[in-house]
């Protein structure tokens, strides 16, 4: 049996569809990083910087004290019915909490953590799932090299549009 089904589930806190009416000020600010090793933290930060570079602007800032939408990152161990879930985002108008599973950082899945991180930040910014498995916002994630330049461009474009829409409300 193929063991590559890495399920990502996310919930819209407060019910589907109404969260856009709330005001969320971007860029997002890293408000907490919990449970990661030093190596994982540096991989995480590298992935965030790369996202900022691709977006052509700061989407998530490391600068403490910056005003913005707080994002919390937490490392979780796989367990129970959600053991194959590699990432999870819970958000409302005040904050976004991202859980990344230690599975995403396994050496045989190089680049998976980056895919999952970008995907979950997409959720924090209001993006929903895409129906094509080749897209970064598909509900399962693959190692980063799986995604075409076009797919990454589409993701970053959607992310930027959503942030602009959200911030202008
Ligand atoms: Zn998702």
Classify burial at 131, counting beta carbons within 10 Å of its beta carbon; exposed 0-12, middle 13-18, buried 19 or more: exposed
Tokens, residue 148: 């075409």
Higher-confidence residue: 91 or 166? 91
User: Ligand 1: distance of its center to the CA of 68 in Å?
Assistant: 22
User: Ligand 1: distance of its center to the CA of 5 in Å?
Assistant: 13
**Domain membership of residue 69 as a residue range:** 7-167
Q: Is residue 1 part of a domain?
A: no
User: Ligand 1: distance of its center to the CA of 8 in Å?
Assistant: 5
User: Ligand 1: distance of its center to the CA of 123 in Å?
Assistant: 7
User: Ligand 1: distance of its center to the CA of 67 in Å?
Assistant: 26
> The whole model's pTM is what?
0.85
State the CATH number of the domain containing residue 17.
Answer: 3.40.390.10
- Residue length of the chain: 169
Per-residue pLDDT tens digits for 74-104: 999 998 888 888 999 999 888 999 999 999 9
Confidence class for position 2, pLDDT limits 50, 70, 90 = very low
Q: Is residue 159 part of a domain?
A: yes
Q: Is residue 101 part of a domain?
A: yes
Q: Is residue 54 part of a domain?
A: yes
Provide the number of structural domains found in the chain.
Answer: 1
SS3 of residue 31 by DSSP: strand
């Amino acid at each position: 049996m193929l063991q590559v089904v890495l399920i990502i589930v996310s919930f819209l806190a407060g019910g589907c569809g109404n969260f856009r009416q709330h005001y969320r000020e971007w860029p997002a600010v890293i408000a907490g990083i919990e449970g990661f090793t030093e190596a994982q933290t540096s991989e995480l930060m590298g992935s965030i910087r790369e996202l900022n570079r691709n977006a052509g602007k700061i989407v998530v800032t490391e600068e403490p004290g910056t005003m913005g939408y707080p994002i919390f990152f937490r490392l979780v161990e796989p367990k129970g019915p959600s053991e194959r879930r590699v990432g999870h985002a819970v958000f409302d108008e005040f904050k976004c909490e991202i859980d990344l599973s230690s599975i995403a950082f396994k050496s045989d899945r190089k680049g998976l953590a980056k895919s999952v991180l970008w995907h979950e930040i997409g959720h924090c910014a209001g993006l929903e799932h895409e129906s094509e498995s080749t897209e970064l916002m598909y509900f399962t994630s693959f190692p980063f090299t799986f995604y075409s330049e076009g797919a990454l461009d589409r993701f970053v474009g959607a992310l930027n549009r959503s942030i602009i829409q959200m911030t202008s409300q």
